[in-house]
Structures are given as C-alpha cells and as structure tokens.
Amino acid sequence: MSENQTTFEDLLIDEEEVSETLLSETLIEYIRIGDESGSIVPQDAYEDLTNREQVVVVLLAQHALEGLDMADEQWLTPSQIAERSGIKKGSVYPAVRELDDADIVENDDGSYRIPTHSLESAKRHLEPEADA
C-alpha cells in the first residue's frame, strides 16, 4: 500500500474531542458555566439572541455540562429550559417545536436535547445569516 493511499482508518475521529471543541467554540461567545454550580452565566451576546436561539444555547450548554460530568443527562423539559434561559415557559414551547421540526432537537416525551449528530446544525442555527 502506498504512503498516500487513504484507508478506513483515516475516517476515524475522536467523537468526544470533536464534540467538546465544537461545543466550546459555539458557546464561548454566549455563556460561561459556573465551575461549582454548573449554572449558565450569560454573556452580552446571549441577550441579543432570539428565544429560539437562546433555547439552542441552553440545550448545547446542557450537552457540555454532561460532558463535564456536571449533569446526569442531556434532556431538559421546557420548564427546565425556561428556568435556565430566563425565557418565559410559554415562549419555550413554540421554540422547541420549531427546533424539533427543523431536526435540530430530539423530543422524548416532552424532554428535549440536541444529539451529537445535530451539533453542527445547532451551531449554524446561531450563526448570523449572510446578507444577500
């Protein structure tokens, strides 16, 4: 086999490392996480986001908290999302439904999470749209 030939081994990546990098790069502009409490500490850019975008940030932060062993699971109910985001619960419901319809979040009997395979989509959802 030649040196330049690609093999199946070249397809392998460390999923946890990729997820950690992607989450950190995506969230750093919007939030910090309390190192003892695990609380979301909003940054100025967070306040400029729409309710739906803030829900994405909270669900991504929950993903990060689980990766940091500061949460037992990635799933959050709308009430938990409202509590952590500062969004009124009545505004969380339409946001999670829209995100579910866009295949950014998964819904398990009223609890939501952003699965690893949707991290890129969630990141793109937060990026400002290019001016046409």
Encode pLDDT of 25-45 as tens digits. Answer: 999 999 999 999 999 999 999
4-32 pLDDT per residue, tens: 788 888 777 676 777 888 999 999 999 99
For residue 130, what pLDDT is reported?
42
Nearby residues of 32 by Cβ (< 8 Å), 6 or more positions away: 40, 41, 43
Residue 70 in tokens: 């500061």
Q: What is the pLDDT of residues 46-76, one digit of tens each?
A: 999 999 999 999 999 999 999 899 999 999 9
Q: What is the mean pLDDT of the chain?
A: 90
- Considering the four listed CATH numbers 1.20.200.10, 1.10.540.10, 1.10.10.10, 3.30.43.10, the one that applies to the domain covering 14-125 is 1.10.10.10
Give me the residue spans of the domains in the chain. 14-125
**Integer Cα distance of 79 and 69 in angstroms:** 22
Q: Give the residue with greater pLDDT, 130 vs 103.
A: 103
Residue with tokens 């062993």: 69
Give the pLDDT score at 132: 41
